[in-house]
């Protein structure tokens, strides 16, 4: 063995150590130079026997010193690598606290739902219970039981979506055109006194435009009791509208026809934007009135069909659509906008 084996090995080992750039390279270096079995230093120590006593001492001492030096250099390099890895990860994963925060998108109730809840709250506070009926309805409930028989011209008012499937032994299925069928369903199961408000969706086979949609939200009101008359209907609606649109509101009833009430009425409320003045008002189109709903006294024939004695009991009913009212309420000019799911519109309310 050459006497300069130790200094030569030192140079080589230190150069290789400086080149080891990651953990795996470091481990490999350690095995190659300091490994107990096959390491280069062990190799030198193993061949000491072939040297003279004098040389053995010199080389042996130098090899031992190099072992210590290399172990120390190894540890230093290991720490250096660890530090620079940490520095790199801090740099790449850096949090810039000056960046503006990402906005939290907050959900909200649809404006029509908000209006619906206001109406239902007012109904509840007047003693009405909230009940819901099916959107897929039998012809019987939607039309026949409400005195709109097959081939009756009044059916033209409610052209609808029919469903191909049928329930055996039942009238055809359709998407209900109104929430009025819930009057029948409820009177089948309950006897007076009755006070219900029934919200839900109704559908019509409509060509859509700025004021027509094929789906709408309605609220149906029904009260049956001893001695109810038009005065109670008017008082209830006036109170409802005053709760919603201000204590100074007035209402107007005009005779109208719905097969399930007698007499029937179209009910309008004085415009809450111009206070009924009309002239130049965009909300009520200059009329001073806003059409709110259809209403009337429950037809005695319907009460009798439901097993309710029409000489003892009378009832009133009303049904309103919410989308048009919501247009006025929120100042939205096109009914179709409600269901286009455009957050630029919906998030304003
Ligand atoms: N269901 C009717 C419609 O959708 C509205 C209506 C009119 C409901 C008169 C009633 C009523 O309860 O008495 O056009």
Determine what percent of the chain is predicted with pLDDT higher than 70. Answer: 99
Tell me how far the alpha carbon of residue 238 lies from the centroid of ligand 1, in angstroms.
17
Nearest Cα to Cα of residue 286 among 301, 265, 271, 308: 271
Tell me how far the alpha carbon of residue 226 lies from the centroid of ligand 1, in angstroms.
22
With a 6 Å cutoff on the Cβ, whether 180 touches ligand 1 is yes
Task: Please tell me the predicted confidence (pLDDT) of residue 103.
Answer: 87
With a 6 Å cutoff on the Cβ, whether 198 touches ligand 1 is no
Q: Give the closest residue (by CA) to ligand 1 atom 4.
A: 178
| Ligand 1 atom with least separation from CA of 320 | 5
Q: Give the closest residue (by CA) to ligand 1 atom 7.
A: 294
b/e for 93-122, b at 16 or more Cβ within 10 A? Answer: eeeeeeeeeeeeeeeeeebbeebbeebbeb
Same domain, 11 and 64: yes
Give the rounded distance of the alpha carbon of 44 from its chain centre: 76
Radius of gyration of the chain (CA): 44
Tell me how far the alpha carbon of residue 94 lies from the centroid of ligand 1, in angstroms.
64
Same domain, 61 and 116: no
Interacting residues of 3 by C-beta distance below 8 A, sequence separation 6+:
55, 58, 59
The whole domain housing 318 covers 111-346
- Helix extents (H) in 129-229: 139-142, 181-189
Task: Please tell me the predicted confidence (pLDDT) of residue 75.
Answer: 95
Same domain, 122 and 178: yes
With a 6 Å cutoff on the Cβ, whether 192 touches ligand 1 is no
**End-of-domain residue from the set 27, 62, 91:** 91
Same domain, 86 and 124: no
Task: Please tell me the predicted confidence (pLDDT) of residue 1.
Answer: 62
| Ligand 1 atom with least separation from CA of 222 | 12
Same domain, 133 and 65: no
Q: Is residue 306 part of a domain?
A: yes
Same domain, 77 and 121: no
| Ligand 1 atom with least separation from CA of 316 | 13
Q: Is residue 13 part of a domain?
A: yes
With a 6 Å cutoff on the Cβ, whether 317 touches ligand 1 is yes
With a 6 Å cutoff on the Cβ, whether 322 touches ligand 1 is no
Choose the residue to mutate in 123, 180, 198, 213 for probing ligand 1, maximizing ligand atoms within 8 Å of C-beta. 180
Mean pLDDT taken over the chain: 93
Angstrom distance (rounded) from CA 80 to CA 27: 15
Same domain, 21 and 79: yes
SS3 64: helix
Tokens representing residue 163 in the block? 């469903």
Nearest Cα to Cα of residue 114 among 340, 273, 323: 323
Question: Where does 49-193 show beta strands of DSSP type E?
Answer: 129-130, 136-138, 162-163, 173-175
Choose the residue to mutate in 318, 321, 325 for probing ligand 1, maximizing ligand atoms within 8 Å of C-beta. 318
Q: Is residue 276 part of a domain?
A: yes
Distance (Å) of CA 237 to CA 30, 217, 289, 345: 92, 18, 15, 30
Same domain, 224 and 174: yes
Tell me how far the alpha carbon of residue 318 lies from the centroid of ligand 1, in angstroms.
6
Q: Is residue 272 part of a domain?
A: yes
Angstrom distance (rounded) from CA 279 to CA 273: 11
Task: Please tell me the predicted confidence (pLDDT) of residue 236.
Answer: 97
CATH of the domain at 247: 3.30.930.10
Tell me how far the alpha carbon of residue 344 lies from the centroid of ligand 1, in angstroms.
33
Same domain, 13 and 138: no
Q: Is residue 31 part of a domain?
A: yes
Number of domains in the chain: 2
Q: Is residue 101 part of a domain?
A: no
Tell me how far the alpha carbon of residue 96 lies from the centroid of ligand 1, in angstroms.
61
- Report the chain (349 residues): mean pLDDT per 10 consecutive residues: 82 92 92 90 86 88 91 93 90 85 89 96 96 97 95 81 94 96 98 98 92 95 98 97 93 96 97 91 90 96 98 98 90 93 92
Backbone angles phi, psi at 325, to 5 degrees: -60, -40
Q: Is residue 167 part of a domain?
A: yes
Task: Please tell me the predicted confidence (pLDDT) of residue 18.
Answer: 92
**Helices H / strands E in the chain, number of each:** 11, 10
Q: Is residue 104 part of a domain?
A: no
Angstrom distance (rounded) from CA 315 to CA 148: 19
Q: Give the closest residue (by CA) to ligand 1 atom 13.
A: 295
Residue 185 burial (10 A CB sphere; 0-12, 13-18, 19+): middle
Angstrom distance (rounded) from CA 139 to CA 146: 10
């Amino acid at each position: 063995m050459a006497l300069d084996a130790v200094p030569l090995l030192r140079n080589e080992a230190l150069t290789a150590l400086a080149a080891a750039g990651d953990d795996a390279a470091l481990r490999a270096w350690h095995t190659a130079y300091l490994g107990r079995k096959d390491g280069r230093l062990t190799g030198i120590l193993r061949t000491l026997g072939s040297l003279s006593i004098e040389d053995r001492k010199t080389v042996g001492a130098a090899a031992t010193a190099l072992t210590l030096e290399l172990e120390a250099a190894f540890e230093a390099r290991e720490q250096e690598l660890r530090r620079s890895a940490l520095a790199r990860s801090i740099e790449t994963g850096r949090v810039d606290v000056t960046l503006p925060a990402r906005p939290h998108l907050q959900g909200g109730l649809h404006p029509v739902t908000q209006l619906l809840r206001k109406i239902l709250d007012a109904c509840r506070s007047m003693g009405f219970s909230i009940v819901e009926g099916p959107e897929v309805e039998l012809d019987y409930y939607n039309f026949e039981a409400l005195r709109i028989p097959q081939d009756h011209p009044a059916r033209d008012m409610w052209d609808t979506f029919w469903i191909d499937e049928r329930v055996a032994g039942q009238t055809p299925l359709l998407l209900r055109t109104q929430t009025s069928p819930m009057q029948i369903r409820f009177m089948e199961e309950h006897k007076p006194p009755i006070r219900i408000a029934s919200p839900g969706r109704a559908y019509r086979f409509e060509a859509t435009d700025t004021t027509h949609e094929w789906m709408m939200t309605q609220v149906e009101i029904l009260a049956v009791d001893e001695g109810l008359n038009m005065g109670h209907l008017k008082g209830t609606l006036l109170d409802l509208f005053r709760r919603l649109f201000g204590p100074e509101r007035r209402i107007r009833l005009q005779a109208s026809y719905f097969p399930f009430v007698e007499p029937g009425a179209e009910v309008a409320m004085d415009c809450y934007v111009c206070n009924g003045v009309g002239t130049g008002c965009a909300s009520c189109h200059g009329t001073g009135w806003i059409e709110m709903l259809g209403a009337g006294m429950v037809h005695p024939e319907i009460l009798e069909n439901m097993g309710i004695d029409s000489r003892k009991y009378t009832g009133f009913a009303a049904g309103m659509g919410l989308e048009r009212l919501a247009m006025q309420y929120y100042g939205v000019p096109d009914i179709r906008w409600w269901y286009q799911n455009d957050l630029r519109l919906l998030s304003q309310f």
